[in-house]
Amino acid sequence: LVFSDCPSSLATNKNFLPKFSFYPNPAKEIIFVENNNQHINQIEIIDIFGKKLKTLRNTIKEINISELPNGVYFFKIFSGGNTTIQKIVKE
C-alpha cells in the first residue's frame, strides 16, 4: 500500500491518486460521494476492528450511515483495478 497526499486516504497503486471526496466528515446521517466522473465498483464500510459492516454497489452518490453508532469507520473504495481507503468519522 502507498500513502497518497491525502492524509486520510490510502491507495494500493502508486500511480493511482484517489479522485473521490466524501463529505461532510465528520457526518451524522448522510455522506455524499463526489467521484469526479470515475466509476466506483463498490464501497465496503469497515469498523475499527476490521469487520465489514456493509457493501454498497453500483451508482453511489450518497451513503446513509444513520444506523451506525458514533465512531471511526473506513470506506474501502474499489474503482477499476484500484482500491482506496478513506477514514470517516460518524458523530
Higher pLDDT, 70 or 18: 70
- 20-49: per-residue pLDDT in tens? 899 999 999 999 999 888 889 999 999 999
Give the pLDDT score at 2: 40
- 48-83: per-residue pLDDT in tens? 999 999 999 976 899 999 999 999 999 999 988 889
Task: Go through the domains of the chain in sequence order and give each one's CATH number.
Answer: 2-90 (2.60.40.3080)
Q: Is pLDDT of 1 > 70?
A: no
pTM attached to this predicted model = 0.78
**Straight-line distance from the first to the last Cα atom of the chain, in angstroms, rounded to the nearest whole number:** 28
In order of 36, 72, 84, 91, the CA distances from 17 in angstroms are 12, 23, 9, 28
